[in-house]
Structures are given as C-alpha cells and as structure tokens.
Amino acid sequence: MVRASGLCVLLLAACGDDGARRLPDAPSGGDARGDDGNGSGDIDAPVDTALDGTPRVYNCGAFTEAPAWTITAGFHAVVIADAADGLAQPVAAVVAGGGFDGKIYVVNQTDNTLRAVEPTDGTTTLVVATAAWPTPAALLTTITWDAQSTFDGDLYVGDQGGDGDNDSTIFRVAPNGTPTQFTTAPGPGLDDIYGMAFSTAAYGSKLFVTGDTDSVTTDWGAFDSAGVGTAFSELAGGEGIAFDTGGTYGGGLLASRPAGGGYAGDDTITKIGTDGLSQGALISTRPGIHAITFAPPGPFGGKLVAASWATGELISVDTLGAATVLASGLSLTNYDGNILAFSPDGNVLYVADRLANRLVCIEPEL
C-alpha cells in the first residue's frame, strides 16, 4: 500500500510533483447536501462532520496505488486500504457520520469483523472483533447506516447465517462499537440476507431487507424499530436495494435482480411500488447486476450507480435507463449487494473490491 504523505493529509494542502495530487477545495456556498451513504440517495442528508465538529471534505487524498482498473475519462481510482490493513474479502461498505466520525465502515467476510477506515490516510481500526458479536456470526454479508435516525442512528450489519433456510440475523452497532442483536430468524427476508436499506416515509420508514428467493420463506422483509418484520414482496431475485429519496428517478424503491449465480431474477434493475409489485425495469439485459446506490448531486451527476459481478464493471445509469461504464476490472462475487458507498458530499465513490481485498476510492480528475 502506498500511503499518502502525512503532511499533505494533515494540512489538506497542495502536494508537490512527487506523484501525490492536490486535494480538492472544499465546496463553497450554501449548505452542502448529499447521499446518506446507505444507498438511499438522500439529498437532504448534511455533509458529515468529524467528532471534533469540523466538516469533512471527502477526496482520494494523495494515495498513489492504482487498482489496475480501466476508468472512464475524467475520473481516476486509487487504493486506500487493502489486505495489509486487515481487509479480507470486504463484502460491504458504508460511510457513517455523526458519532461514527464520517469514516468508511467495512464488513470483512473472511473473519466476520467490522472495521473502520479513515478516508484521509487509510488507517484501519477494528470495531467489532470476530468473537464480539452477541451470537456467533456465520457469514456477514451487508451493512447500512441509519443516517436519518429512523430508528436510532446506528449501523446495521446483516449475517447471512449458515446458508440454511431462514437462519439469518441482523446486528446493530452503536457509535462506541458495541454490537447487539436487532432481530433474528425466523422472519421475512431473513433467509440469506443480501441487501439492506432504510426506507422513506412512503414505504413506512422501516429497514428493508432482501433475502434468498427460494420461496421457503417470504423473500422481502420490512422491519420496525423493535425488530418486528412484516412481509413486503415476493418479487424474485432481489439483491441490492436503494430508495430514490431525492426523486430524480420518480421516487420509490429500486432493486437489482440478477439472473444466474443462484438468483431467480431477470437481469434488470426494477422499480418496486409500496405494494411490493414491479413498476417496470429501469434497465434490462445487464447480467450480474447486484449492488446499486444513488449518487448525490455533484461530479457523479446524481445518477444511479451499479456493480456487476458477471462483467466486473461499475456502470452509471441515467433516468432513461442509458448505461455508461465507469470502471471495469473489478473482482466481485455474486452476493456482495452493498459494496458501493458515496461520500455524503458527493465527491467520491468508495468500492469494496471484494476478492482483491481492498477498498478503492474513485473521484473526478482535477
């Protein structure tokens, strides 16, 4: 791992011509708005602040190690943490503010740990150790942050379980790193958890969960703050989910529905109504799409961004369903539904490149 210059990181100042890059200027004017980091595209979420109260301005810093991806013109990518920092099959990531200090929280699947990555210098710390979960974690798969304090403002981590029927668990992690059990199977959506996202009020202000679509149990669940789940949908193949709270795509819920890899979907990103029924596809015939999120307004254009395990690509999708490849060459698998996390100020996209054991930062070229 090539680290950023300590002076450049601490001062957030211009670096010399030694391979490091000048950090972007802070946004000017008004009150910056952006995504809440959990894939909901919430343009009302304020820019995160550090614990000392100063606003965070997100960028890829002076890191220089490229991930050997092909990146679309106008953007570049750098590795900010990898196996040397303890990342081992990072299967999900989220940026969490408030008491979580605006860091990137990464779920490690190899050792079932939760780790925090400091975006300015890549320092990685252990938040929840393997043995610290209140019940033993079998296979952690996903994470989301309750950015709007729909319940409590905590992190929520999904454990797929032992790959049996209806044996998944959702843990809650407080800012001090203490994990508790939020809910466990049996329950709707708690059969091999793939994706999680907090909903808008129109959908009941709940935690939505997608699970294995094998018709053994209800495939989608919506949970209240007490961990009580209600059935939401039997629409097959749902994996990554995101709420268009900004309304750019007409509002509502979208889900990636891959076909193949054990999924019963149709290779679409589908709009889903409050009744749990399909409202049509945003895009079709894109194999292996599994992770989706909404970009805040800014350099990524407020568009929906998706990842495909089948092609190893990141794509940007506009409101008409036209797709543009942002990056290719990723090392992904077929159930990492929450690997994409935007910074709240919309400047950068963080990607958990699972099989490469690294966290990658993408931002526009200066």
Instruction: Kindly indicate the confidence band of residue 335, based on its pLDDT and cuts at 50, 70 and 90.
Output: confident
Q: Residue 213: what pLDDT?
A: 61
Q: Is 266's pLDDT higher than 70?
A: yes
Among candidates 295, 330, 300, 351, which has minimal Cα distance to 81?
351
| pTM, two decimal places | 0.86
Q: With respect to residue 315, please indicate whether it lies within any of the assigned structural domains.
A: yes
Q: Over the chain, what is the mean pLDDT?
A: 84
**Secondary structure letter of residue 324 according to DSSP:** E
Q: With respect to residue 172, please indicate whether it lies within any of the assigned structural domains.
A: yes
Instruction: Kindly indicate the confidence band of residue 366, based on its pLDDT and cuts at 50, 70 and 90.
Output: confident
Between the alpha carbon of residue 15 and those of residues 63, 81, 182, the distances in Å are 11, 21, 45
Which position has the higher pLDDT, 364 or 37? 364
Condensed to tens digits (0 to 9), the pLDDT of residues 229-251 reads 999 998 888 889 999 988 999 99
The alpha carbon of 152 is separated from its chain's Cα centroid by a whole number of angstroms, namely 19
Q: With respect to residue 96, please indicate whether it lies within any of the assigned structural domains.
A: yes
Q: With respect to residue 345, please indicate whether it lies within any of the assigned structural domains.
A: yes
Q: With respect to residue 239, please indicate whether it lies within any of the assigned structural domains.
A: yes
Q: With respect to residue 160, please indicate whether it lies within any of the assigned structural domains.
A: yes
Identity of the highest mean pLDDT range in 13-27, 48-62, 155-169:
155-169
Q: With respect to residue 13, please indicate whether it lies within any of the assigned structural domains.
A: no
Domain count for the chain, please give it.
Answer: 1
Q: Residue 257: what pLDDT?
A: 92
For residues 67 and 76, is the Cβ–Cβ distance under 8 A?
no
Q: With respect to residue 118, please indicate whether it lies within any of the assigned structural domains.
A: yes
Instruction: Kindly indicate the confidence band of residue 20, based on its pLDDT and cuts at 50, 70 and 90.
Output: very low
Virtual torsion, Cα 184, 185, 188, 189, nearest 10 deg: 80
Condensed to tens digits (0 to 9), the pLDDT of residues 120-148 reads 999 999 999 999 999 999 999 999 999 99
Q: Is 27's pLDDT higher than 90?
A: no
Q: Is 311's pLDDT higher than 80?
A: yes
Q: Residue 180: what pLDDT?
A: 98
Q: What is the mean pLDDT of residues 307-314?
A: 94
Q: Which residues contact 141 (CB under 8 A, 6 or more apart)?
A: 91, 92, 107, 109, 158, 159, 160, 192, 193, 194, 335, 336, 337
Q: What is the CATH number of the domain that holds 301?
A: 2.120.10.30
| Residue 7 phi, psi dihedral angles, 5° rounding | -65, -45
Rounded Cα distance between 364 and 72, Å, is 10
Residue 172 belongs to domain spanning:
34-364
